[in-house]
Amino acid sequence: MRSPGRGPRRRASFSRPRRSMRGPAFSRTCLHTASCLLKEAPRRLKGRTPSGQRWLVRQLNDPFARASRAHAYRCRSAFKLLEVDDRFHVLKPGLRVLDCGAAPGAWSQVAVQRVNSAGTNPELPRGTVVGVDLLNVAPLDGAHFLCCHDITDSATLSRLQQLLPDARADVILSDMAPNASGFKEMDHEKLITMCLTLIDMAEEVLLPGGSLLCKYWDGFLAHTLRERLSAVFGNVRTLKPKASRKESAELYFLARMYRKQIK
């Protein structure tokens, strides 16, 4: 309801996209969706816990969450990979991609589009996307998912290799994150250990010249991970995509030009 004495209702600020939101990823549709959701907000807040209400308000105010709904991505993290790939062109038609920690499947959706693994463009080479997660992942045209599997379990790798053509990958993606315990250093260490597992896995599947994009939480072991990556990749850089929340310790290493031969 409008409060008395106020001037005419101002248009909500989301009606004019900020400069960073312009471009193909942000359409009129997503602004429309946002306006509908905000109108519904008071009803949707009812019956939620305070933390649930905070989460909903953050989602409603988040341009990337709105854009992911408008573009039918399974979650907002799609925009992190889209940004990285727009800058560094890691995903190309015909490539084989291994997506670690794939659920709910937004990165796999991006990978399917970029490597043409659904064969959407018959004139381009058709790639492969294989995802793995501890959780179930809903089926996605153009991707194979190995669900309820732990990447740190040695048996998982051979199952993944069976799904990859010639048991090889050109790109390993990892947006994996363990369940946060609330103890920052412990969580950081756990995620770094998972990333180190990926380097071992690369020895078995990643083709020379290949790339690895992995998420980590910043902390005292980040330099160790970077050193381990630099020992086997020609180029390693640290990235913080715009869709990664500023308050999050989340960062990504993009390691390119894998130098080792597969064992």
**Which residues of the chain form contacts with ligand SAM (CB under 6 A)?**
74-75, 77-78, 101-107, 132-135, 150-152, 175-178, 194
Question: Would you say 136 or 230 has its CB closer to ligand SAM?
Answer: 136
Q: Which residue is nearest to ligand SAM (CB)?
A: 101
The minimum distance between CB 225 and ligand SAM, in angstroms, equals 16
Which helix (H) or strand (E) segment holds residue 81: the answer is helix 78-88
The minimum distance between CB 2 and ligand SAM, in angstroms, equals 40
Active-site residue among 46, 80, 215, 263? 215
Question: Would you say 151 or 157 has its CB closer to ligand SAM?
Answer: 151
| Interatomic CA distance for residues 177 and 104, integer angstroms | 13
Mark whether 240 is an active-site residue. Answer: no
| Interatomic CA distance for residues 71 and 68, integer angstroms | 5
Question: Would you say 179 or 261 has its CB closer to ligand SAM?
Answer: 179
Locate tokens 């290493």: which residue?
Answer: 253
The minimum distance between CB 144 and ligand SAM, in angstroms, equals 15
The minimum distance between CB 11 and ligand SAM, in angstroms, equals 32
Backbone dihedral angles phi then psi of residue 158, each to the nearest 5 degrees: -65, -30
The 8-class DSSP code of residue 260 comes to P
| Interatomic CA distance for residues 4 and 149, integer angstroms | 58
Question: Would you say 194 or 206 has its CB closer to ligand SAM?
Answer: 194
- Exposed/middle/buried for residue 168 (C-beta within 10 Å: 0-12, 13-18, 19+): middle
The minimum distance between CB 7 and ligand SAM, in angstroms, equals 43
Question: Would you say 38 or 251 has its CB closer to ligand SAM?
Answer: 251
The 8 Å CB, 24+ separation contacts for 27-36 are: 27/70, 27/71, 29/70, 30/63, 30/66, 30/67, 30/69, 30/70, 30/71, 31/66, 33/66, 33/69, 33/70, 34/60, 34/63, 34/66
Residues that are catalytic: 215
